[in-house]
Amino acid sequence: MNQNVKSRIIKSNDQLAIILNRVLSMRKSVFGKIYEKLYHLYGPQGWWPLMDLETENPDKTGATKGYHPLNYDLPQTRKQQYEIILGAILTQNTAWTSAEKALWNLKKLNVLDPDKLLSLDDDTLKEAVRPAGFLNQKSMYLLNITRFFLALDGEIPTRKEILRVKGVGNETADSILLYAYKQPEFVIDTYTKRIFSHLGLVEDRISYMSLKKLFQDNLSPNVPVYQEYHALIVEHAKKYYQKKPYGTECPLKELI
């Protein structure tokens, strides 16, 4: 190979590297700008809500009580941790307001305690879970995750361990790890995919793990940021991406 050809190849590779770096920087900039824009629009969200807290976030859409903006120390007790875990199961394929009703039913039964919940008879448990839907499946899933929680004996589970529990998928596992155990696992939900595909940043058929990796590659592993970003996406989606046509007048478009 003559020297001129070698030079052109080297120059081409250098240009390609520059382009790739620019694309990556732009992508990071866009993800960061979107977070900053959402935070500016809606402020701190204070997820995950806890029933015994007297705090609230009156500016958010839907349920407002139990949210704790700017308090990232929660959960502080084993009871709060367990409540978040139950909530992550109950909110599968349903609105949080419905999951919250089921949690209140469990609270009235005084079974927001792993040992007490396991001692509850099946029919009573199913009736308590009813507002969250899929009562047969979810009541079984609650028992599964409760046995898992007890077996941990205070230890933090790995993602692989928690995914082995029947009834726990990617989103539920990441929700439990991020909010109950304060681990930097970004949570992807339907709204995340809908918003970011509508903005042209990802394909609409992108997999859960690919989109999760994209966020984590472009964000520092910061638990409060992960919590806020996920919550802000949900809040934004409720305003602009719940009904078709999606994204009408979405203020994020000006950032793309």
pLDDT in tens, 151-185: 999 999 999 999 999 999 999 999 999 999 999 99
pTM above 0.85, yes or no: yes
Which contacts qualify for 42-46: CB closer than 8 Å, 24 or more apart?
A: 42/232, 42/235, 42/236, 43/69, 44/69, 44/70, 44/228, 45/69, 45/227, 45/228, 45/231, 45/232, 45/235, 46/70, 46/71, 46/231
Contact between 208 and 188 (Cβ < 8 Å): yes
184-200 burial, b if ≥16 CB within 10 A, otherwise e? bbbbbbebbbbbbbbbe
Q: What is the mean pLDDT of residues 66-86?
A: 97
pLDDT over 70 (residue 25): no
pLDDT at 89 over 70: yes
Is 228 in contact with 237 (CB distance < 8 Å)? no
Q: What are phi and psi of 65, to 5 degrees?
A: -80, 145
Q: What is the CATH number of domain 78-240?
A: 1.10.340.30
Delimit the domains of the chain by residue range.
78-240
Q: Across-strand partners of 56?
A: 65
Q: Which of 162, 190, 185 has its CA nearest to residue 89?
A: 162
Tell me what the mean pLDDT of segment 21-44 comes to: 79
Average pLDDT, stretch 5-25? Answer: 45
pLDDT per residue as tens digits for the range 105-127: 999 999 999 999 999 999 999 99
Tell the burial category of 230 from Cβ atoms under 10 Å away from its Cβ (0-12, 13-18, 19+): buried
Angle at 98 between CA 116 and CA 152, to 5 degrees: 35
